[in-house]
Structure 1
């Protein structure tokens, strides 16, 4: 795998510069964009400072020399360019269970059913856009062209009025059936999670009106440790009582959210949007509404809960694939009506299963009806500082969110490659492995995990952390390299990073305790008019505090390749072949 060392025109490493600025300032009061030009309070008004002619970027891509045992093959997958229009502000890898958690829109290719709430079983049962049947999910922030003048002062004004808040995935909504004998204990531990979250938000009050990456890190690190302990306690308690061992590690990590900035960032284009352009199916949660389940009914209730999840995913997939079909009542008659009937039958089975061994739960039938989210969510700040502002839905024909305006540029090509390791053979990825690359929040979390990704076709020997201006006839490209090493045990970790690692940039070897897996690279190419590039009129969707920071580019992946396909990928790579 190539290692990328980004340098500015004066030759100073951009990553080192970013770290030095953070170390010197401790707390940032403005949006920070690496070498992209926002290191000072007024630099955000010069959007073109984030752009660089690609010829001015020095070659900086290093390729480890393959050793005698290197795996040099390559396996490519064609999953299209999101031609079916699966756009979503969910991030099922970094923020599972949190709707609109990304606060910006992603392109999704591959898995059709995936949402923030999808289980592994849902993913496995989904359709896909990939020609070889790969059900994996690949997703990244969209790129937009916005020819209007950007008011970066509005971002700073909105930030000045915002108190950062801690947002955590809901554990209660993701639990399996909880045995009756430990229901009270689990409830107590869930209450402890709420208490930890509230205490963290008290600490975050010190960050009002500014971005303090040091404070954010201190709060999140401490909260992660305490949540991990409590969540392990929940899992152990359920398992010891005869319940199904829940996989909850993905729910440990929380995030600092500047959601309140949305209230001050509604531009005329967004305020005038008449409809939600990316409707989704909304169903009442069930897992957090159940009483303790008699031990003999646990397995049956778990199967029914999984079936409810699959029903929602299948209905969501139908919503995507049937877009534009039928008349005004098509969704109600063809999707929501059948879904209500299916849910009612499963909810009744749950009530019967519990009632055979104890008191039958009442009112579950009220949870059968789902709706289509057709109206924008409110975007005013909350009345109390105990929760972040409600997040708006993407609106209008361009799926816009506050601060993320303009027409979406559909990729001209998306190249998905699984590649080898310079030091030795690779082993198959485990199914449902989660991985991400880059960092969506280098401003509020610091630049340690951020990765430069921008280049132009024909210039792949150089990568920039600024938006490139390409020569005539060349495409703007984003190159996303994922970690190529795995700890051999876990499909996720409490920060979504520690279970995977990048290989050594010089030798290609994996860190001690890690094994090489097929290393994923996604290259996204765009036909963007050159005058748009020169005028600085294209940009990445981003969190509000990042203000389209090109260094906040990122990409996410869940491996849903079949075991057979992953073995084919691995064999191809280890034999030095090029396959598809």
Structure 2
């Protein structure tokens, strides 16, 4: 599959597309303030209780991209572009949601009529274009995609899609979803839409070995291929940041709507071709590893005005505060419990986790949070509060079964799979080295008092995902040269630990 070769070289700090809009609305992340509707508002010198309409905390839209499995190669660029436009539509609708609280207070149908209805129409137009592009390229578009046009409104405390929604889940505005949804929950005082106190948990309250997801099981064990290969690529000392996503939104500026850390390959933006990646510099000590490893940044919401405070992907989309680089970034490839691994193809793309899992649910979620000294305790939907002297840990164990043919797929997932419970790959898949990323951070523990959190840390996210910890994800493109990949495979299959 060819990649977009159109070039753009603009550091995030110089982007101006969102600057004027952000300033017009008060600058920085302030446009996202008051996301959680509080029980009372100041109005004309007195308190008034907000209406139930203000309880609609975020927008829940079916993920069209996840449902695409049969997109001809020559249509994928156009389809990825339409999907990125859908993400922008949701961002725009969410911005309207959080900046029209007073209008919602006066009209219980405002969200339905002025936000969700027009959003459904716009999404339907893009779905029609996606279907047309698939059919023109010789594919067969699924007419059931039309059912994914409608979005719902939901309160912040609604943890799973479908809970309490209107009948078909397509047109409801969420206004009947619980009398307390969104009430008595304020923003955290930093002008950001989350996290809130309920998003944190004391690591001592997490039960050992209780992580609820099967995704991300470690592939290697006492049998099979037991070796490992560790690559040292630093902790982004070169300050390579952007809000693009070369895998999911190639050719689309700000396709991620949140900022990424990058280590390894130094030519990472939405317009980088495979040839660009192959010819780029790398931060890895082994110069044969030009792979790109990237993940959403963590931020400390302490009021710091970062370089992207008024930019898309940054403060203009609710990602505010001081960017925290990991103190350690451990990148390790391991084997398979049942047998040998084979070499990854060059330019293989893998996404693990789901940036939209707060509304999508757990199907592709693969977040894992812990603290040093407590790593037998892993949590997926909470940020850990670590005791003094302990550091926050983010871990991602990638899919390690490859379909043997494709370096990518229409939904960027079908060409890869997780190992099964016994450590084997599903039928038709073969084991490749499993990438495990462990990021360790020095973060002062947030203070939680009277149901509010002060100076929280949070992962960057799409605006409507509210910085929920379960939205954490990691991305990888293999750009190792052939000799190095063969060395990785040999080390793993022979039971050696190499670096």
Task: Determine if the TM-score, normalized by the shorter chain, exceeds 0.5.
Answer: yes
| 1:106 corresponds to 2:260 | yes
Match of 2:302 in 1: 147
- In structure 2, stretches of 5+ residues that fail to align are 1-158, 188-195
* Correspondence for 2:403: 487
| Inter-CA distance 64–564: structure 2 relative to 1 (3 Å threshold) | closer
Change (3 A) 1:478 1:557: same
Instruction: Check conservation: 2:220, 2:335, Cα contact below 8 A.
Output: no
Shift of residue 451, structure 1, vs aligned partner:
1.9
Report whether the alignment pairs 1:430 with 2:349.
no
* Conservation of the 8 A alpha-carbon contact between 1:452 and 1:463: no
Aligned to 1:548: 467
Q: CA deviation at 1:65?
A: 9.6
Larger Rg belongs to: 1
What is the Cα deviation at residue 64 of structure 1?
Answer: 7.4
Between 1 and 2, higher relative CO (CA 8 Å, sep ≥ 6) is seen in 1
Within 5 Å, give how 1:180-579 maps onto structure 2.
Answer: 392-393=311-312, 400-464=315-379, 465-504=381-420, 506-531=421-446, 535=454, 537-579=456-498
Return the alpha-carbon distance in structure 2 between the equivalents of residues 83 and 95 of structure 1.
25
Q: Given the superposition, is the C-alpha separation of residues 112 and 66 from structure 1 closer, same or farther in structure 2, using an over 3 Å criterion?
A: closer
Q: Give the length in aligned residue pairs.
A: 317
Report how far residue 442 of structure 1 moved: 1.7
- Give the structure 1 partner of residue 160 of structure 2: 18
Cα distance between partner residues in 1 of 2:373 and 2:275: 41
Give the superposition deviation at 1:20: 6.8
5+ residue gaps in structure 1? 1-16, 32-38, 149-268, 279-375, 377-391
1:50 to 174, 190, 199: 199
CA displacement 1:304-334 (0-9 Å, x = unmatched):
xxxxxxxxxxxxxxxxxxxxxxxxxxxxxxx
CA contact (8 A) 2:332 2:435 kept: yes
SS, match of residue 409 in structure 2: coil
Runs (4+) of structure 1 moved beyond 6 Å?
A: 22-25, 62-68
**2: CA distance, partners of 1:57 / 1:440:** 23
* CA-to-aligned-CA distance 1:224-269 (integer Å, 9 cap, x gap): xxxxxxxxxxxxxxxxxxxxxxxxxxxxxxxxxxxxxxxxxxxxx8
Q: Give the Cα separation in 2 of the matches to 1:482 and 1:66.
A: 12
> Hey, what's the Cα distance between the residues in 2 that align with 1:434 and 1:141?
17
Which of 248, 270, 283 is equivalent to 1:116? Answer: 270
- Indicate the residue corresponding to 1:253 in structure 2: none
Select 1:132's aligned residue among 283, 286, 293: 286
- Distance in 1 (CA, whole Å) between partners of 2:481 and 2:185 is 46
Deviations 1:168-210 (A, max 9, x none): xxxxxxxxxxxxxxxxxxxxxxxxxxxxxxxxxxxxxxxxxxx
2:160 partner SS? helix
What SS is found at the alignment partner of 1:18?
coil
TM-score for the superposition, normalised by structure 1? 0.51
Residues 532 and 538 in structure 1, CA contact (< 8 A), matched pair in contact too: no
Q: 1:530 to 1:67 in 2, by over 3 A?
A: closer
The answer on whether the counterparts of 1:30 and 1:40 sit within 8 Å (CA) in structure 2 is no
- Partner deviation per Cα, 1:433-469 (whole Å, 9 max, x = no partner): 0001111112443432112321111222222121000
Cα distance between partner residues in 2 of 1:473 and 1:139: 27
Q: Give the secondary-structure state (helix, strand or coil) at the position aligned to 1:574.
A: helix
Deviation at 1:69, TM superposition (A): 5.2
1:572/1:85 Cα in 2 relative to 1: closer, same or farther (>3 Å)?
A: same
Note the C-alpha offset of 1:410.
Answer: 1.3
Please give the secondary structure, in 1, of the residue aligned with 2:261: strand
Decide whether aligned partners of structure 1 residues 519 and 23 sit closer, same or farther in structure 2, where only a CA change above 3 A counts: farther
Task: Give 1:528 deviation, angstroms.
Answer: 0.4
Aligned-residue RMSD, C-alpha = 2.9
Asked whether the 8 Å contact 1:145–1:532 carries over to 2, the reply is no
**Could you tell me how far apart the structure 2 residues matched to 1:421 and 1:94 are?**
27
Question: Residue 431 of structure 1 contacts residue 560 of structure 1 at CA under 8 Å; is this kept in 2?
Answer: yes
C-alpha distance in 2, partners of 1:424/1:418? 15
Describe the SS at the equivalent of 2:495. coil
Q: Are residues 567 and 44 of structure 1, via their aligned partners in 2, closer, same or farther at CA, if it must alter by over 3 Å?
A: farther
* TM-score between the two structures when normalised by the length of structure 2: 0.59
Q: Contact (CA 8 Å) 1:104, 1:401: kept in 2 or not?
A: no
